[in-house]
Amino acid sequence: MEKVIDEKKQGSTLVMEPKKENSRKLFIESYGCQMNFSDSEIVASILAKEGFNTTNQLEDADLVLVNTCSIREKAEQTVRKRLEKYNAVKRKNPKMKVGVLGCMAERLKEKFLEEEKIVDLVVGPDAYKDLPNLIDEVEEGRNAVNVILSKEETYGDVSPVRLQTNGVSAFVSITRGCDNMCTFCVVPFTRGRERSRDPQSILEEVNDLAEKGFKEITLLGQNVDSYLWYGGGLKKDFSKASEIQKATAVNFAGLLDLVAKAQPKMRIRFSTSNPQDMTLDVIEAMAKHKNICKYIHLPVQSGSDRILKKMNRLHTREEYFELIDNIRKIIPDCAISQDMITGFPTETEEDHQDTLSLMEYVKYDFGFMFAYSERPGTMAGRKFEDDIPEKVKKRRLQEVIDLQQKHSHYRTQQHLGKVEEVLIEKESKKSDLHWSGRNTQNTMVVFPKENYKVGDFVNVKILDCTTATLIGEPVGYSDNN
Ligand code: SAH
Ligand code: F3S
């Protein structure tokens, strides 16, 4: 996903227009992956029905909710720091209640109440519909916890309140949880079993977004390629499905096809793909539909077969190359990005060189790179010693980042001189005379505003580039408007 939002950055506060006067005020902020940001929109929707309006002033809030991330230790530390800030505010406003949502809530459960006295409410990712009851409990002076993970909950029937939106792009979640059990990863423990959402409710949400003027959606899941709808239930139990259920089942390629056909002018993105689950029919569906963006986020984590195996990534380096070759053959100008972990237990210099040589083969357009962080409760946390010194992890990380920078620059240069369709999202951060948007490959493009507006599809001639941004001039509307 473009995706893991750096935990060093401030969490993002979500605000919507007040509806009722004298209603209670909710301050909600999110850390971590796109799914958390999307979940906060579901939470805001559930609480709007209870009379909560959002505010961006922490000091004004009756209820403060923080949607948390556990993926690395640093992400958790960021949230703990935030709780200190809430504490200072609560001293001035003792009636303010504080709730923790998301992955840290699920991981720490009741322990959170003991460790952080400020916390009144602990709610895991599958229990948001219980929030109104839990808040009642808290208001009666009791602490409240619900961290029950579900085998069914997909929030398919909740229509998210679009918060802090540019009115152009939106997230639509299609699966929840993950069954993959990569040994380093806490997600299967905090988000539970993998469930797919009914395609009908996905289509309804997409159609509704189109009606409201949105131009781009990102289908979200921890592992979108394993999407499978056969009438509900865990993917694992598909073998027990009836013949009719099997015949009418919808996989991820089928879902892409349905969504692309339903809204042919809507740009469609998706995240995240797992190499072991990505099939050729997904790549073919991308090639078939002009409105499916030519960009695949395809985390690999390591270039060494030995480390991949230890990570329980169920593919080899060779199989990954085969997948990359197929993508390039079927969609020649497809952008590809990676997630990489350096310093996984027992990683040698040779393994690290394998990572660098894999990167050299693929020459990714973008990358999200991390030093290994041991997570309590995961297989790696329990079984493998975190034996790579921090200094070595960081040095290897820097080498991976430097190489990625070089490749990103190589990739942006390939766009020079071309005319590319850009969807305008917002004003450029650096100049109020320029728009900023993305091309189909997800590369940021900046160009003079002229008479165009946010939400327009514009053809832009690319004249210059940096490692991350293309700079161009508009040559007219594209035929997608
Ligand atoms: N499938 C998910 C992955 C979520 S985690 C998705 O939707 O993106 C995002 C990335 O964080 C992983 O791909 C991995 O590179 C990194 N990560 C996960 N656990 C980690 C750990 N223990 N230490 C360092 N990085 C980790
Ligand atoms: Fe984590 Fe692997 Fe799933 S990285 S989210 S266990 S695909």
Structural domains in the chain, sorted by start: 12-146 (3.40.50.2300), 169-413 (3.80.30.20), 419-477 (2.40.50.140)
* Ligand having the closest approach to the CA of 33: 1
Beta bridge partners of 472: 462
Cβ atoms of 38 and 151 within 8 Å: the answer is: no
Detail the DSSP E strand segments found in 276-398. 295-297, 335-342, 366-371
Q: How far is the CA of 195 from the centre of ligand 1 (A)?
A: 19
The reply to whether ligand 2 has any atom less than 6 angstroms from the CB of 271 is no
d(CA 326, CA 240): 32
* Closest by CA position to 380, among listed 341, 420, 421: 341
Q: Does 400 contact ligand 1 (Cβ within 6 A)?
A: no
Pocket flag, ligand 2, residue 272 (CB < 6 Å): no
Strands (E), 18-125: 24-30, 52-54, 63-68, 97-102, 121-123
Backbone angles phi, psi at 46, to 5 degrees: -65, -40
For atom 1 of ligand 2, the residue with the nearest CA is 185
- Cα distance from N-terminal residue to C-terminal residue, the chain: 26
Closest atom, ligand 1, to C-alpha of 71: 19
Give 57's Cβ-side CA count (13 Å radius). Answer: 5
Residue 158, helix vs strand vs coil: coil
Query: How much is the pLDDT for 13?
Result: 61
CA distance 94 to 372: 39
| Tokens linked to 149 | 């993970």
| pLDDT, position 11 | 61
Length of the chain equals 481
Q: Per-block average pLDDT, block size 10, for the chain (481 residues)?
A: 42 55 86 94 95 93 97 96 94 94 96 93 96 94 92 90 89 95 97 94 96 97 95 85 91 98 98 95 97 98 98 98 98 98 98 98 98 97 98 98 98 98 96 97 98 97 97 96 87
* Residues 101 and 83 sit within 8 Å (Cβ to Cβ): no
| DSSP letters spanning 198-259 | PHHHHHHHHHHHHHTT--EEEEE-TTGGG-EESSSS-GGGGGGS-HHHHHT-EEHHHHHHHH
Distance, CA of 394 to CA of 372 (rounded, Å): 9
Does residue 313 have its Cβ closer than 6 Å to ligand 1?
no
Dihedral over Cα of 257, 258, 260, 262: its sign: positive
Distance 266 CA to ligand 2 centre (A): 28
Q: Which two tokens stand for residue 104?
A: 């840290």
**Ligand 2, atom 7: closest residue by C-alpha:** 180
The dihedrals phi and psi of 214, each to the nearest 5 degrees, come to -70, 150
Residue 87 contacts residue 116 (beta carbons within 8 Å): no
Q: Which helix (H) or strand (E) holds 91?
A: helix 73-92
C-beta of residue 187 within 8 angstroms of C-beta of residue 178: yes
Ligand closest to CA 34: 1
Predicted confidence at residue 12, as pLDDT, reads 63
Name the closest ligand to CA 340: 1
Alpha helices in 242-338 (DSSP H): 243-247, 252-262, 280-288, 305-310, 317-330
Distances (CA, A) of 293 to 54, 237, 261, 283, 438: 33, 32, 14, 11, 10
- What is the structure's pLDDT at 125? 97
pLDDT of residue 16: 55
Angle at 224 between CA 220 and CA 225, to 5 degrees: 160
Q: What share of the chain is helix, strand, coil (3-state, %, to 5)?
A: 35, 25, 40
Instruction: Pick the closest to residue 298 from 371, 369, 364 (CA basis).
Output: 364
Give the three-class secondary structure for 438.
strand
Beta-bridge partners for 12: 30
Q: Are 228 and 250 in contact (CB under 8 A)?
A: yes
User: Residue 187: CB within 6 Å of ligand 2?
Assistant: yes
443 Cα–ligand 1 center, Å: 22
- Which atom of ligand 2 approaches the CA of 178 most closely? 3
Give phi and psi for 118, each to the nearest 5. -65, -25
Q: Which atom of ligand 1 lies nearest, measured to the CA of 221?
A: 7
Q: Where are the beta strands (DSSP E) in 22-137?
A: 24-30, 52-54, 63-68, 97-102, 121-123
**Which of 186, 296, 339 maximizes ligand 1 atoms within 8 Å of its Cβ, making it the mutation to test the pocket?**
339
Residue nearest atom 6 in ligand 1 by C-alpha distance: 222
User: Does the C-beta of 470 come closer than 6 Å to ligand 2?
Assistant: no
Please return the burial class of 141, using the count of CB atoms within 10 Å of its CB with bins 0-12, 13-18 and 19+.
exposed
Which of 187, 225, 378, 379 maximizes ligand 2 atoms within 8 Å of its Cβ, making it the mutation to test the pocket? 187
1 lines ligand 1 (CB under 6 A): yes
Contact assessment for residue 92 and residue 103, using Cβ atoms and an 8 Å cutoff: no
